[in-house]
Amino acid sequence: MSVPGFFTHIREYQLPHPRISLRVVLVTHLALAKAFELLRNEPPAGFVLSTAKEDEITRQLHWILENRLLSTGEVPGFDRRRIANVIRAPEVTNHDGKHPAKKPDLVLFVLRRASFSVISSHDGIVAECKPVDDQHQIGRHYCDNGIGRFVNGDYAWAMQEGLMVGYVRGGRTIGADLAPILASDPRHEGLGSPQPPSPVGSSYASHDSQALHETVHRRSFQWPLNFGIACQISLFHSWHNCS
Residues of the chain with pLDDT under 70: 1-11
The answer to whether position 136 is within a domain reads: yes
- Alpha-carbon span 201 to 220, nearest angstrom: 29
> What gap in Å lies between CA 177 and CA 174, rounded to an integer?
6
Residue 229 burial by Cβ neighbours in a 10 Å radius (0-12, 13-18, 19+): exposed
pLDDT of residue 226: 81
What is the distance between the alpha carbons of residues 148 and 102, in angstroms, rounded to a whole number? 13
In angstroms, the CA 120 to CA 141 distance is 29
Are 183 and 189 contacting, i.e. CB atoms less than 8 angstroms apart?
A: no
- In a 10 Å sphere around its CB, with 0-12 CB exposed, 13-18 middle and 19+ buried, how is residue 121 labelled? middle
CA 204 from chain centre, in angstroms, equals: 17
Structure confidence at residue 5 (pLDDT): 53
Q: Is residue 2 part of a domain?
A: no
* 207 domain residue, yes or no: yes
CA atoms lying within 13 Å on the CB side of residue 135: 7
pLDDT, position 8: 54
Q: Which residues contact 91 (CB under 8 A, 6 or more apart)?
A: 100, 101, 102, 103
Residue 162 lies in a domain: yes
Domain assignment present for residue 1? The answer is no
pLDDT of residue 113: 78
pLDDT of res. 115:
77
User: In this predicted model, what pLDDT tens digit does every residue of 175-209 receive, in sequence order?
Assistant: 999 999 999 999 999 999 999 999 998 899 999 99
Tell me the pairing of strands 106-110 and 83-88: antiparallel
Residue 6, in any domain of the structure: no
Cis peptide before 186 (omega within 30 of 0): yes
Q: Residue 86: in which H helix or E strand, if any?
A: strand 83-88
- Using only C-alpha atoms, the chain has a radius of gyration, in whole angstroms, of 17
Whether the CB-CB separation of 80 and 71 falls below 8 Å is answered with yes
pLDDT at 139: 97
1 forms beta bridges with: none
Task: For residue 55, give its domain range.
Answer: 13-241
Is 75 part of any domain?
A: yes
Instruction: Tell me how far CA of residue 64 lies from CA of 38, 71, 240, in angstroms.
Output: 9, 10, 15
Domain-embedded: residue 232? yes
Number of domains in the chain: 1
- Measured CA to CA, the distance from residue 193 to residue 178 in angstroms comes to 14
